[in-house]
Structure 1
């Protein structure tokens, strides 16, 4: 009998090993607020990102990768669920990701299918079914959903010692970015011992504000003077809608425009933080080599949203313009043949594609609720990857900037829905295939009338999708009215929030009162 047990145990171990060899490991790396324009392989010769650039030269780079909602909480929910925001029901001002949605996210599904899973870094959202929630609370962190957890609530901290789950790395790596690289090394070691294929996700805080780079890299951009892009500053925003210029993205973030000195300091520290993430990528690839698993490990690198960096006088993200909505996206699969490495794909891709793509690599069928597509098809058979447009929404902030747009490889149509005595609903049409800096609104150009009508049809089709698919909670159904090009000001009025700062203050106060009641 003892021999039978030993044989069964040995067979089980052998099957685990074979399973790990058959199914690839997957590493998903996410920076925070990194615009694609701040990455060397995307054409910026002023920045130093050697590991990302090398990964692009060995893998596939998606030239037109967009975040369907360009703000961290909502984007992260889109990334792990493969759904548009109005179906995740998750964003600041709205509410948390409900548990039933999280149960269909890629990390949960992969663990159920035998993957050894781990997460480290800024989780960036709340998972909860309750009315009282706080993304800064441990109570809404899905710690037990992973085999290993090195994450934290809220924004986390650049100081390693102030992040509870990675504090043990603080002596050697006082800045969190390299500490996550060290955590990854330990996770890969444990994952290999488990005998299972693994899926490791790391969400760096960098380069999110406050710009606090790792001093280890102080020499990288010391005394560097960055050239401003041609669309920098308010003088290059006169053609944009008044709605776009009504929010804090245009009226705050003064460090981008106070002086030449403040601009250069912001650019140096922002890019130094990205360089730290690039270095951590190098640490992770080295760990994969040392553990002998590099040949069977797929790496995906992207960011949760872009960053304006002073373009059109904007700071921050949120808006549907190129700098704020686009991020780098690179996939490295060591199994692809040499003659396919270094490919670029121009077709629009998006954060909603990440979850179905990862599941596809793992041999797991994506749930029907996912809106995204498997990017493997775009990589291997682009002619069969059918997609006309991606939809970009902003459902956060003051009423004026809440908007929807559709974007293809060459065109972007934006509809600014807000209407008042001072503002009328505004359309913008940019030929982004030729005018990547979005310097000319072509909406009144008769030469592009057919293109405008085509993009309007794509837009209207997406409004219908929102009408059919928006969750019935967290204040999302209103967008089928607000974003409707045919809705009147009177029809929209009941759905406008008014003073954004006051609404935010009242919501925060209400949440604190509910938390106090729950404690009692």
Structure 2
């Protein structure tokens, strides 16, 4: 072993010894589904009711530039667990299930091996290749996850049935299960890692009547300035081939009803978060439990005339991210970070909290340094991908806190390959494509894009349908040369346990 390697090992063992001696912190990861970034009161939304998340933000660090590198449920969830981009873990609708060896490197599995008492409740959202869903029971000390989308009706979720009478809506039932898990974990004397994966606010929409009633007084909800089909006409023709442009039209035809139900579902998540935070205090664990809250995707909510997610625009790809570490001095509380973060950073952050090393094989970065220095950064740029759905809507993008570059490759149906560039500082709603106006910024972003394209080419997983994308996403290769390489990826052939 080389001297440098010996030093690294010694430093890690010293770090782990110090953490163990000081009592390793508990970790709670709270994960909503399809929640766009501006749907927490602390983010400036004056209509949504999220008092518990607001308190969490006021005590922790709130991140304003958090992106999901693939904005679709299955792929994003695996990126969160493994810290890998989709093209490296290979898990998405139409592409394939997750390899067991990659899941064994995920934060829940490794923390359990390191002595953490681990629990999971809610929507799992993916399958392990060649493995029955029930085998997830062996990967956690307590497991109440469900296959596919799960159900908003508690009684229809096998492992939550006992909560159905008191909590008929599954969101609060997730909170009740979590309360019991925390109490059980306390008895073991071990630190715990709890992952709570809410179905809400994912469709089909079915909010708890308790929460829907809270919005009765609001008849007309505020719309973003980029709401409506007319505010998407300047965007690429390829984006309009996406499911986001052609389905879920109720967001356009009945916005008030749609946003009311969407907000109510998020308010239900907030109530469950409150149940969990209250239990921490009751058990005397609130001073040594780090809480992370985010979502697997954003949601377009009618912005640019789009619904759903998938697209690389702000509303569909960004989600709230809040991290609260009660061990930090008060001077670090209530801070805002504009640093560029991604779903791939969650696993690295959890490993760092636990004292386990962050693998160099991971794409993600630990965000722990940002809790003390929120004005610092962990990266310059971040890639965004869509490898799913109709081939015309496949895209690759790179984003910085100031700029976003999107490349649409398809030349089908008389379309032309298209570049988009947005100045996010001056134009946060992406109302003007400046690719033909700001050559200096365009070249800068294209250089970042080229670096990520090279990584895609060198590191993609084999056998899951990503092999042609380095060519497909190369702006320097003509459509004629890559026309025969493109294909659509659909979830229709997947089992019912992997619905989107």
Give the TM-score of the pair, scaled to structure 2: 0.93
Asked whether 1:239 is paired with 2:234, we answer yes
Deviation sequence 1:121-141 (CA, Å, 0-9, x none): 00001111x4xx8xxx635x6
CA distance in 1: counterparts of 2:212 and 2:321, whole angstroms: 26
Query: What residue in structure 2 maps to residue 69 of structure 1?
Result: 70
1:189 to 183, 206, 212: 183
Query: What residue in structure 2 maps to residue 209 of structure 1?
Result: 203
CA distance in 2: counterparts of 1:405 and 1:493, whole angstroms: 20
* Preserved contact between residue 245 and residue 307 of structure 2 (Cα < 8 Å): yes
CA distance in 1: counterparts of 2:262 and 2:110, whole angstroms: 35
Q: Measure how far apart 1:457 and its partner are.
A: 0.5
CA distance in 2: counterparts of 1:19 and 1:449, whole angstroms: 53
Query: What residue in structure 2 maps to residue 180 of structure 1?
Result: 174
Provide the aligned length of Structure 1 versus Structure 2.
Answer: 478
* Preserved contact between residue 332 and residue 371 of structure 2 (Cα < 8 Å): no
Quickly say closer, same or farther: Cα 1:71–1:20, change in 2 above 3 A. Answer: farther
CA distance in 2: counterparts of 1:88 and 1:394, whole angstroms: 14
1:147 to 141, 151, 154: 141
* Preserved contact between residue 98 and residue 127 of structure 1 (Cα < 8 Å): yes
Deviates further, 298-307 or 243-252:
243-252
Asked whether 1:401 is paired with 2:402, we answer no
1:264 to 256, 259, 266: 256
CA RMSD of aligned residues (A): 1.7
* Preserved contact between residue 60 and residue 332 of structure 1 (Cα < 8 Å): yes
CA distance in 1: counterparts of 2:201 and 2:375, whole angstroms: 36
* Preserved contact between residue 335 and residue 374 of structure 2 (Cα < 8 Å): no
Asked whether 1:281 is paired with 2:281, we answer no
Asked whether 1:479 is paired with 2:469, we answer yes
CA distance in 2: counterparts of 1:494 and 1:403, whole angstroms: 17
Query: What residue in structure 2 maps to residue 6 of structure 1?
Result: none
Query: What residue in structure 1 maps to residue 3 of structure 2?
Result: none
Matches within 5 A, 1:377-388: 377-381=369-373, 385-388=377-380
Deviation sequence 1:248-306 (CA, Å, 0-9, x none): 21112110122xxx211111000000000001111000000111111100000000000
Q: Mind listing any 5+ residue stretches in structure 1 that lack a counterpart?
A: 1-15, 513-520
Quickly say closer, same or farther: Cα 1:194–1:21, change in 2 above 3 A. Answer: farther
Matches within 5 A, 1:242-321: 242-258=237-253, 262-321=254-313
Query: What residue in structure 1 maps to residue 103 of structure 2?
Result: 102
Q: Mind listing any 5+ residue stretches in structure 2 that lack a counterpart?
A: 1-16
* Preserved contact between residue 58 and residue 341 of structure 1 (Cα < 8 Å): yes
CA distance in 1: counterparts of 2:108 and 2:21, whole angstroms: 17
Q: Matched residue of 1:56: which SS?
A: helix
Deviation sequence 1:138-184 (CA, Å, 0-9, x none): 35x62210000011000000000000011110000000000011001
Quickly say closer, same or farther: Cα 1:385–1:347, change in 2 above 3 A. Answer: closer
CA distance in 2: counterparts of 1:433 and 1:151, whole angstroms: 40
Query: What residue in structure 1 maps to residue 436 of structure 2?
Result: 444
Give the TM-score of the pair, scaled to structure 1: 0.89
CA distance in 2: counterparts of 1:307 and 1:390, whole angstroms: 19
Runs of 4+ in 1 over 6 A off after TM superposition: none
Deviation sequence 1:16-59 (CA, Å, 0-9, x none): 9x959610000000000000111111111121111111100100
